[in-house]
Structure 1
């Protein structure tokens, strides 16, 4: 697709054409005029500096034609420049007043820099609308996640204060679980916000990946067995990689918690390997699987394929988003793909050769 000429080039070209037209009209037209007058009306030519009537008519006609030509060029230039600019100014005022759906019109008059200005304004307005919509969604989602533990804590504490509940160890254990849940939610939100702003710092160092995975798996062993999940670990004992071991453990914990909530009873495979300079850590279950349209967004915050399952299991919708943030901080990514057993494989991978996270 050929690009339209720049605004400066359009102005220069239009002014050159206008000046050339006026010069030709004045010089060539005057030469032709006097050639005809000399041949057919020689007596009408003035012998003094005062023009005759017919000469005055020619001067007036030439002036009107030149002004018409200049006006035509000015109108065309103003339409190409002012029409898109007025559209941008009008819609910019609409955006300033809160109408984020306002868009400038890109018509045939917008060319060169003015057309690019219209496109950039519309792109900016679309991104602003998207960010505002996402912010509203996040505010509502965070408020929703905080409401349940806050309500439970307030109710139990009020009951303890009024003597409705006896101050037993079971009551305090329940309160502690709610506080721990709030702590995990706050930490997840902190990790996501730091990654979003580019300030998620990593403590990179060589680590034994097999040892790190073993620690996490051991902590989840009893919970997984209770859910009927038989864990199978496939990782070399000598797998040395450069990473932030704490963050990798945090990501693996989120993956196992996700499997604990949603995976069907059966084998749960945790594997790690290094291939072509990239480290891969995956958690693979036997079902129930994830639809392709949902798999594309499982690592987005508060994006649950089945919201009812999240409410029943107590999930916040942030665990897999934290996995994605940790992968990106390591220069890698997190992916969701079908497993060979009809289940789902959640994979975290990152390059072994990492630059210092400044």
Structure 2
């Protein structure tokens, strides 16, 4: 029997044998399910087998076997988070297992046939790597576009408020209105903090962020942040509640605390159509917990799993971007950011921080 015929007739046996080998080798992705792992392997073995059964003169070059989309699907593997190094490893196992299987059967084939099989697997691996890289680059481009859209959306609100305040100043006569000047000052500060937060997000990993702790009254910080968003909340008819011990003090980085709380409060107001947004601080033995609760629509379990991905450019609208900034600000100071939410029952974000964080340059 020819090598091509053997590959076609014993595809399932070879795939199962290869899968057993993969399990023995302590796979780097132990939770990868069997169906995802095997993927298109049976089809690929049959394609090679069919090509080998043809005459030498009619054989296509091995590299052309994998140009048809239905014979290879590295895009799905990328979505399943299968690294290309794992794909290369899988095909190396396949070549070894086929060789061992043929030796056990005592089958003898021409050097040309076996070389064709090896070349086909090599080309399959190369084409997988090429298409995987192309897919990932396109995926990164899409995510970057969404990321930029998120930044634009985050900047739009303070810029609009800044523009409105400037127009009011231009229309005024005599000395500028103190209320308008105060709103202008807060808006400029809010815009500056947002830009600083974005720069920190782009430049540093959480464990690399510079930390400059200072003794702060968290209640005062909360008041300042809430004041920045009072106008938006009142426009929507939302009730803003704050509860914090006025005498409490913590040793944290002011900018990172504002990064975290500011984004949580902004998101709560943005996505709550009616009802309330409540900010509270709880003192615990090992640190403090800031809670930002809202009466908004809540967040589905599926969406919750996406919110805290390590690299999340954010959807247009800015939720993912704001939470990325908040999550990094918490992690950098040895804290954490958690979420409790059910669809239709609002959301509660919990920012946990130690009483004192260490300085880091």
**TM-score, with structure 2 as normaliser:** 0.51
> Is residue 2:298 matched to residue 1:290?
yes
**Aligned with residue 79 of structure 1, among 104, 114, 117:** 117
Number of the residue aligned with 1:190: 199
Number of the residue aligned with 2:256: 247
Cα distance, 1:278 vs structure 2: 6.3
Q: Secondary structure at the match of 1:345?
A: strand
Query: CA 1:235–1:91 in structure 2 vs 1: closer, same or farther (change >3 Å)?
Result: same
Q: Distance in 1 between matches of 2:278 and 2:120?
A: 63
**Aligned with residue 327 of structure 1, among 325, 330, 335:** 330
1:280–1:349 Cα contact (<8 Å) kept: yes
Matches within 5 A, 1:8-47: 10=96
Cα distance, 1:243 vs structure 2: 3.9
**Aligned with residue 303 of structure 1, among 315, 318, 338:** 315
Number of the residue aligned with 2:70: none
Query: CA 1:79–1:262 in structure 2 vs 1: closer, same or farther (change >3 Å)?
Result: closer
Cα distance, 1:177 vs structure 2: 7.2
Cα distance, 1:290 vs structure 2: 1.3
Query: CA 1:228–1:135 in structure 2 vs 1: closer, same or farther (change >3 Å)?
Result: closer
Higher-Rg structure is: 1
Query: Any gaps of 5 or more consecutive residues in structure 1?
Result: 22-67, 96-101, 103-121, 160-164, 308-314
Q: Distance in 2 between matches of 1:273 and 1:290?
A: 26
Q: Distance in 2 between matches of 1:186 and 1:149?
A: 11
Cα distance, 1:270 vs structure 2: 0.7
Number of the residue aligned with 1:201: 210
Cα distance, 1:250 vs structure 2: 3.3
> Is residue 2:308 matched to residue 1:271?
no
Q: Distance in 1 between matches of 2:239 and 2:322?
A: 20
Q: Distance in 2 between matches of 1:167 and 1:271?
A: 40
Number of the residue aligned with 2:141: 132
Query: Any gaps of 5 or more consecutive residues in structure 2?
Result: 1-18, 26-88
Number of the residue aligned with 2:20: 2
Cα distance, 1:268 vs structure 2: 1.8
Number of the residue aligned with 1:30: none
Deviation by residue 1:267-287 (Cα, 9 ceiling, x = unmatched): 724123336x565322223x1
Query: CA 1:176–1:268 in structure 2 vs 1: closer, same or farther (change >3 Å)?
Result: closer
Number of the residue aligned with 2:218: 213
Deviation by residue 1:321-349 (Cα, 9 ceiling, x = unmatched): 3211212323443222138x943211112
Q: Distance in 2 between matches of 1:248 and 1:265?
A: 26
Query: CA 1:265–1:237 in structure 2 vs 1: closer, same or farther (change >3 Å)?
Result: same
Q: Distance in 2 between matches of 1:156 and 1:272?
A: 36
Which one has more relative contact order, counting CA pairs under 8 Å at least 6 apart?
A: 2
Q: Secondary structure at the match of 2:20?
A: coil
Q: Distance in 1 between matches of 2:123 and 2:334?
A: 44
Deviation by residue 1:86-122 (Cα, 9 ceiling, x = unmatched): 1343465xx5xxxxxx3xxxxxxxxxxxxxxxxxxx4
Q: Distance in 2 between matches of 1:239 and 1:337?
A: 26
Q: Distance in 2 between matches of 1:148 and 1:256?
A: 14
Two-structure CA RMSD over aligned residues (Å): 5.0
Cα distance, 1:193 vs structure 2: 0.8
